[in-house]
């Protein structure tokens, strides 16, 4: 599992750092706590509407297709297809400038758009010249350390 270390001294406003608000219940609950819990357990999931069958990403509390709140959690297929990508060399956002260059990509997983998702992610293990549209990629969970001793989890893509 790839690990990213964040500096201990950077305080991000809640708009940029919603991690603390991902509680299972209570005033700070967002309704997508299970997404973060699943990431910590090594699984990438999203929501699927039980009424219309639409799978969305990012996960939501209301279906963007039919506005139903009758949703279930589903696992995103592990292998997908690279749809678009670009290399970030200069001007990377705060914190990420320490790990540049890296690839910012869009990949499609499952039978998109009928029964799959299109999502963005980073690729760390391949350079721009090593990739082409249509390449098979898989998602993998990464651990993000910091700030302080907090552990967080996210995902990235890796060329298959």
The HSE-up count of residue 111 (CA atoms within 13 Å, CB side) is 4
The structural domains of the chain, with segments of one domain joined by +, span 19-75, 77-160
Residue 100 — pLDDT band, cuts 50, 70, 90?
A: confident
How far is it, in rounded angstroms, from Cα 144 to Cα 147? 9
What's the pLDDT tens digit per position in 27-84? Answer: 767 788 899 889 989 999 999 999 999 999 999 999 999 999 999 999 999 999 999 9
What's the pLDDT tens digit per position in 102-144? Answer: 899 999 999 998 899 999 999 989 999 999 999 999 999 998 8
31 near 61, Cβ under 8 Å? yes
Residue 152 in tokens: 């967080």
Beta bridge partners of 120: 106
Global confidence as pTM: 0.80
How far is it, in rounded angstroms, from Cα 157 to Cα 108? 11
């Amino acid at each position: 599992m790839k690990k990213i270390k964040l500096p201990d001294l950077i305080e991000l406003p809640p708009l940029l750092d919603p991690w603390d608000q991902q509680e299972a219940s209570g005033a700070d609950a967002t309704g997508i706590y299970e997404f973060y819990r699943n990431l910590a357990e090594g699984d990438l999931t999203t929501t699927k509407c039980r009424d219309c069958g639409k799978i969305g990403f990012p996960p939501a509390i209301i279906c963007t297709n039919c506005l139903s709140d009758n949703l279930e959690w589903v696992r995103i297929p592990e292998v997908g297809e690279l749809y678009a990508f670009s290399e970030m060399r200069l001007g990377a956002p705060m914190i990420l400038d320490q790990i540049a260059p890296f690839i910012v990509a869009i990949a499609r997983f499952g039978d998109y758009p009928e029964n799959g998702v299109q999502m963005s992610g980073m690729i760390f293990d391949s350079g721009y010249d090593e990739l082409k549209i249509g390449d098979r990629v898989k998602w993998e969970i990464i651990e993000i350390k910091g700030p302080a001793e907090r552990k967080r989890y996210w995902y990235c893509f890796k060329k298959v």
